């Protein structure tokens, strides 16, 4: 066999190639295999966070419709008082519902955010719980940040001794935190605003924020001194809030808003008892009409025999707040539950006479 230089080069190249292939194959066999996750598209619908052709955010409209289906309420400032009348949706006659100061209250959607700050949540119950817990945590953070970890002078107080409760967290600041949260949710892809309309009422420092936004917002001294006042704020789903003299929550409350406007024009000539009973009457009329429309059926013999007490009736809860340095948070709250008849309104009127 004649071996030429060309054949020799081919033979050497073949041998080297086989060794290189075997070496690389063995080396790759010792490496740990890697698994790459498949690339998936974003499962969230980002279109709801953008404006449509008419300039509306669809997610805000959806959330507003959901919040309008929540329980109804009416709120009004009367001199040094705040009167709150809300729809009763959970408490039965004879059941006590005065435990609002110890935590969350299902009755009417009223929650205590902080000492001297309460809120009415209207909308989806799950979203309301999330928002209430967030605001409760934020109020504690603000309180400790301002150096006011405790709202009283000590664990034990003598009877009649003033509770020196500083306005550690103004109601306006909590309303601002709520608005910032709602607005931030409208700008996150895949997120949605909480379907809750929050109305805040409580103690605030008597300071004009429009004149000096950089001034300290925490009050000093007692919770009901000349630097404190009762305020009413309402936070919208879009991330705005405003101070109100009167407002409403829930859907179908346009007529109630007009009635409250008429009532506010007579503040100089009426007493607190008249304000409370008239507000309760206004809300009861609206709730009764809605209940009749919802439960409207044709009368038959069986319904005529049924007792009127077995039929569901509209009922409201009434809260009346006023400044009082001897109370926790500097605010005293009077409460009447399951008001539904004229006799109940007369008793409530006597209570606030």
Q: What is the pLDDT of residues 121-136, one digit of tens each?
A: 999 989 999 999 999 9
d(CA 92, CA 315): 10
Q: Sorting pLDDT into bands at 50, 70 and 90, what band is 94?
A: very low
Cβ of 81: how many Cβ atoms within 10 Å?
17
CA angle 97, 101, 107 (to 5 degrees): 35
* Predicted pLDDT at 13: 59
User: Looking at residues 65-89, what average pLDDT do you find?
Assistant: 92
Given a contact cutoff of 8 angstroms between Cβ atoms, the answer to whether 90 and 259 are in contact is no
pTM passes above 0.75: no
Q: Is residue 176's pLDDT more than 50? A: yes
Q: Is residue 316's pLDDT more than 90? A: yes
Q: For 18-28, write each residue's pLDDT tens digit.
A: 454 444 455 55
* Predicted pLDDT at 52: 73
**Which has more pLDDT, 215 or 282?**
282
Q: For 186-201, write each residue's pLDDT tens digit.
A: 887 777 889 999 999 9
């Amino acid at each position: 066999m004649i071996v030429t230089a060309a054949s020799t080069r081919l033979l050497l190249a073949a041998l080297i190639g086989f060794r290189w292939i075997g070496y690389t194959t063995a080396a790759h066999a010792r490496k740990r295999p890697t698994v790459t996750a498949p690339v998936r598209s974003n499962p969230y619908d980002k279109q709801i966070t953008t404006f449509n052709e008419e300039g509306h955010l669809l997610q805000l409209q959806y959330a507003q419709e959901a919040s309008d289906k929540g329980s109804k309420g009416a709120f009004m400032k009367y001199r040094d008082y705040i009167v709150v009348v809300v729809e009763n949706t959970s408490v039965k006659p004879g059941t006590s519902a005065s435990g609002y100061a110890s935590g969350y209250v299902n009755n009417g959607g009223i929650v205590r955010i902080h000492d001297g700050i309460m809120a009415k949540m209207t909308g989806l119950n799950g979203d309301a719980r999330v928002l209430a817990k967030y605001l409760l945590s934020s109020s504690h953070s603000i309180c400790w940040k301002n150096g006011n970890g405790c709202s009283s002078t000590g664990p034990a107080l003598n009877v009649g001794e003033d509770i020196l409760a500083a306005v550690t967290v103004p109601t306006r600041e909590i309303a601002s935190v709520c608005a910032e949260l709602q607005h931030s949710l409208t700008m996150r892809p895949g997120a949605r605003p909480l379907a809750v309309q929050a109305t805040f009422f409580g103690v605030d420092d008597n300071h004009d924020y429009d004149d000096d936004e950089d001034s300290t917002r925490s009050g000093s001294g007692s919770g009901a001194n000349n630097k404190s006042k009762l305020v009413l704020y309402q936070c919208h789903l879009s991330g705005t809030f405003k101070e109100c003299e009167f407002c409403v929550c829930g859907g179908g409350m346009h007529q109630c808003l007009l009635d409250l406007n008429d009532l506010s024009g007579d503040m100089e000539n009426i007493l607190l008892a008249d304000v409370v009973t008239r507000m309760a009457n206004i809300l009861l009329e609206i709730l009764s009409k809605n209940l009749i429309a919802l439960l409207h059926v044709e009368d038959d013999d069986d319904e005529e025999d049924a007792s009127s007490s077995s039929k569901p009736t509209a009922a409201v809860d009434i809260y009346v707040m006023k400044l009082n340095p001897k109370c926790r948070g500097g605010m005293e709250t009077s409460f009447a539950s399951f008001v539904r008849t004229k006799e109940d309104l007369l008793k409530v009127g006597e209570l606030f006479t």
